[in-house]
Chains A and B, each alone.
Chain A
Amino acid sequence: MTDAAQERADGARPRATATRMKFYLTVSVTFVVLMAVWEVAGRAINPLFFAPPSEVVAELVKALADPRARLLHGLLETLAVLLPGFLIASVGGVAIGAAMGRRELVYQALDPYVTIFYNTPRVVLIPVFMLWLGTGVLMKIVVVVLAAIFPVIVNTVAGVRDVSAQLTEPARSLRATERQLMIKVILPASLPFIIAGIKLGLGRAITTVVVAELFVSVSGLGGLLHAAGSTYQMAKMLVPAIILAGLGIAVDGLLSKIERASARWYGG
């Protein structure tokens, strides 16, 4: 049996104990080897260009313990842009997407804009909005909303249009109002699509906030990244980079769990 076949027989995660042992062994050996290579390389290479993981961890501990290290402050500044921007994009995206999915006229009217903005490389709007709104929180929130809202809209439209008449017809025959139909039938049935869109939007939002902070270079984790990078403090630079990576992975993992749960619930 090929590996792939065996995997299918085992299920997605290796179930048999021996296979599972091998799986965890491989993963841990890979991790240890990777860290060892990084450590050796980090020590061998000029510290202006690279830092070993031991130094990065030491820097992280130091930054967490020292209130003046601004790491926590930077994280909060980043989240203060990310959370409101992401919330506005999710709620607004679902509302606009639902209207576009249900009303042909709204769809035809807004679809050209959605196509244009969905295809606009979102970071290119940062200099534009810096001219209009300055370099503060408002500019960053607007840019994050513009980055995150379009995948939510596109997926909500797809989800709402996918709801079958088998679900909407009975509700209508019971004289459900359009609002009841939307809240009780259509939106719940489109939930897997909507969550997939929100997940994509969040990924775009994080990238955009980092680029905006690198651009303005005075606040948030991106600002710390810029400050450490431009002064060749490698270990100090890798700390916010790793925190940002961790943030992206954690939120993505959380939303993937919700996505699976909603799909399961939807599937019956």
Chain B
Amino acid sequence: MSVTVASAYALDMRRRKLRNLAIRIGMILLLVAAWEIVGHYVPPIFLTPFHKTLVAFYAMSADGTLLRATLSTLSVLLLGLTISAVLGIAIGLAMGRYRIVRWIIEPYANGLYAAPTVAFLPLITLWLGLYLAPKVAIVVLIAIFPILKNTFAGVSTVSEEYLEPAASMRASELQVFGKVIIPATLPFIMAGLRLAVGRGIVGVVVGEFFTAQTGLGGMVVWHASKFRTAEMFVPIIVLVAMGVCLTEVLKWLQTRLAPWKETERDQGL
């Protein structure tokens, strides 16, 4: 093992933690500094210094455009994710419980999960227009499969030791689902939801790029087409923050609702 790691072990835990924090903050500051310096030397249509993005951030927050765009993106995202969650969990549960449903749906679910569903974007715009519906549809098409697949994988791990007693006590199908299968599958469902968030954000942005250019994605394209690089990075930063925050919230929910560890079937974002 290297000298650095060996000496790192020699430091006590608190000093190591402090050092790591310093490195992390240093690296972020390095990025900001590089952005600021490079921005001074290249033409502004390529990059403007970081402080101009901060100024733009302030201006766009002050006149409310940033908030409106964020709310627009967030509402599409949450609507799409809610539909994905309801449909994905329902279909995944049915696939895990009933063989016939699994046989019918699995080939198509696997295929659509692996396929780049954005390829059907022109079809979606023709069918659903340019406003809310196509954007939500794209989010659902991209985000539903990790939820569905994780739920399905979760149901198949439910042990017969739980199902047999329920059946022998004449539990109704509804009771089996509500009291045995869903609680046992919960960690998988939560993992699927967490994966769906990242994919969902990609879906919203794609929708905002190619249908009516609204929200944060539309803002990026709009400013990019006008070569306003300082403004262009503002919605990008908000989108990254949105992704990090939503993922962290779901991670936290996962540890609260389903603290026991389960393996994730897929980490596809």
Binding site for B on A (CB under 8 A): 2-8, 23, 26-27, 30, 48-49, 102-105, 108-113, 115-116, 118-128, 130-132, 151, 154-155, 172, 178, 196, 200, 203-204, 206-207, 210-211, 214-215, 221-222, 225-226, 228-230, 232, 234, 237-238, 240-241, 244-246, 248-249, 251-253
Q: Which 6 pairs between the two chains have the least Cβ-Cβ distance?
A: A229-B122, A245-B115, A252-B114, A127-B224, A3-B99, A119-B243
Count of CB-CB pairs between chains A and B under 8 Å: 187
Closest A residue by C-beta to B247: A119
Complex interface: chain B residues within 8 A of A240 (CB): 119
B1-19 interface mask toward A, CB cutoff 8 Å, 1 = contact, 0 = none? 1101100100000000001
With contact pairs A118-B269, A127-B232 given, residues A211 and B209 touching in the complex (Cβ less than 8 Å): yes
A189: min CB distance to chain B, Å = 16
8 Å CB contact of A225 from B122, B155, B267: B122
Number of interface residues of B (CB under 8 A): 72
Complex interface: chain B residues within 8 A of A111 (CB): 24
Chain-A contact segment, one of B50-58, B197-205, B253-261 = B197-205
Q: Are A124 and B217 in contact (CB under 8 A)?
A: yes
Complex interface: chain B residues within 8 A of A113 (CB): 27, 31
Closest B residue by C-beta to A197: B267
Complex interface: chain A residues within 8 A of B20 (CB): 104, 108
8 Å CB contact of B27 from A2, A109, A200, A222: A109
Chain-A contact segment, one of B61-69, B82-90, B103-111 = B103-111
28 A-B contacts (beta carbon < 8 Å): A2-B97, A3-B98, A3-B99, A4-B96, A6-B99, A27-B104, A30-B103, A104-B8, A104-B20, A105-B5, A108-B20, A109-B27, A121-B201, A122-B202, A123-B202, A127-B224, A128-B220, A128-B232, A128-B236, A131-B46, A211-B118, A228-B122, A241-B120, A244-B119, A249-B111, A249-B114, A251-B114, A252-B114
Q: Are A124 and B220 in contact (CB under 8 A)?
A: yes
Complex interface: chain B residues within 8 A of A49 (CB): 126-127
Separation of A102 and B46 alpha carbons in the complex (Å): 36
Q: Are A124 and B239 in contact (CB under 8 A)?
A: yes
Q: Are B269 and A151 in contact (CB under 8 A)?
A: yes
B210 at the interface (CB under 8 A from A): yes
Binding site for A on B (CB under 8 A): 1-2, 4-5, 8, 19-20, 23-24, 27-28, 31, 45-47, 96-100, 103-104, 107, 110-112, 114-123, 125-127, 155-156, 158, 160, 163, 167, 198, 201-202, 204-206, 209-210, 217, 220-221, 224-225, 227, 229, 232-233, 236, 239-240, 243-244, 247, 266-269
A95: min CB distance to chain B, Å = 16
Separation of A207 and B46 alpha carbons in the complex (Å): 26
Complex interface: chain A residues within 8 A of B127 (CB): 49
Complex interface: chain B residues within 8 A of A228 (CB): 122
15 other A-B residue contacts (CB within 8 Å) besides A112-B28, A203-B116: A4-B155, A103-B2, A108-B23, A119-B198, A119-B244, A121-B239, A123-B206, A123-B209, A131-B227, A200-B268, A207-B117, A207-B202, A241-B119, A241-B120, A249-B110
Q: Are A108 and B24 in contact (CB under 8 A)?
A: yes
Q: Are B224 and A211 in contact (CB under 8 A)?
A: no
A149: min CB distance to chain B, Å = 13
Q: Are B123 and A200 in contact (CB under 8 A)?
A: no
Separation of A12 and B206 alpha carbons in the complex (Å): 37
With contact pairs A8-B160, A105-B4, A127-B232 given, residues A214 and B121 touching in the complex (Cβ less than 8 Å): yes
Complex interface: chain B residues within 8 A of A230 (CB): 122
Closest B residue by C-beta to A255: B114
Separation of A172 and B127 alpha carbons in the complex (Å): 63
Complex interface: chain B residues within 8 A of A104 (CB): 4-5, 8, 20
Q: Are A241 and B232 in contact (CB under 8 A)?
A: no
Q: Are B100 and A26 in contact (CB under 8 A)?
A: yes
8 Å CB contact of A121 from B24, B112, B243, B268: B243
